[in-house]
Amino acid sequence: MVCYPMPLNVLEDTIKYKFNDLAILKTALTHSSYSNEHKSENCKCNERLEFLGDSVLSIIVSKYLFKKYDKRPEGELTKIRASVVCTRTLSKLADKIKLGDYLCLGKGEEETGRTNVKILENAFEALLAAIFIDSENSIDTVSKFLLPLIVPEIEVASKDVIGHDYKTTLQQFIQSQGTDRIQYVCINESGPDHAKTFEVVAKLNSNVIGCGIGKTKREAEQNAAKEALDLFDVK
């Protein structure tokens, strides 16, 4: 029978980073449910580290995208970053290094907490912050751990952003249902001429099935179509 949490040195071997201060690693892996049950021990949870780790994650991913995709516009880079800096991806990366096995959880979280995607996401961000602080604020050190894990996810997201035509997918789905064509209606324009923002709704007959915002009408229409596909649960 496995005894949780697993020893921290096993995690250090997995992530190929040896902590100078194991206390900060333990804090990164401590959920608030555990710290609340051990207040008398002055036990800290990982929420503050999670806050810092979110920023460290964003700067590393942004820096990588800026250099790797030097011809891609800001809007596409933002979409790629949003696709990978999310609960689904971060919990997946946490699962790859079996981060759940090392978490300190309260009694109420022990049954499902080690596989809870939100808890895993937060712990992964806290781990990034712990490495950052322990390495004397070295972005390069955190990048050495993070990039091999996240770059494959970035590459998938990059192909999706450039190659997925949501309007075509939605139109094909609607036609397969034997219904009418989709209409896209611009309901709002704002901002100066050189930096306008458009808001578009996708309509099926008189029903609004999606809404999208973009820096061009085309981008707004694509985002409206994507929301409609999510509504219909079409992948």
Structure tokens at 46: 């990982």
Enumerate the CATH 3.30.160.20 domain ranges in the chain, comma separated: 166-231
Domain with CATH 1.10.1520.10 in the chain: 8-163
What does the pLDDT read at residue 235? Answer: 65
Does the pTM surpass 0.75? The reply is no
User: Is 164's pLDDT higher than 70?
Assistant: no
Give the per-residue pLDDT at 94. 97
CATH fold label, 8-163: Ribonuclease iii, N-terminal Endonuclease Domain; Chain A (1.10.1520)
Catalytic residue among 12, 37, 47, 54: 54
Which range has highest mean pLDDT (14-18, 68-72, 216-220)?
Answer: 14-18
pLDDT > 70? residue 203: yes
Active-site residue, from 50, 121, 125, 227: 125
CATH number of 166-231: 3.30.160.20
125 is catalytic: yes
pLDDT at residue 162 greater than cutoff 70: no
Let me know if 54 is a catalytic residue.
yes
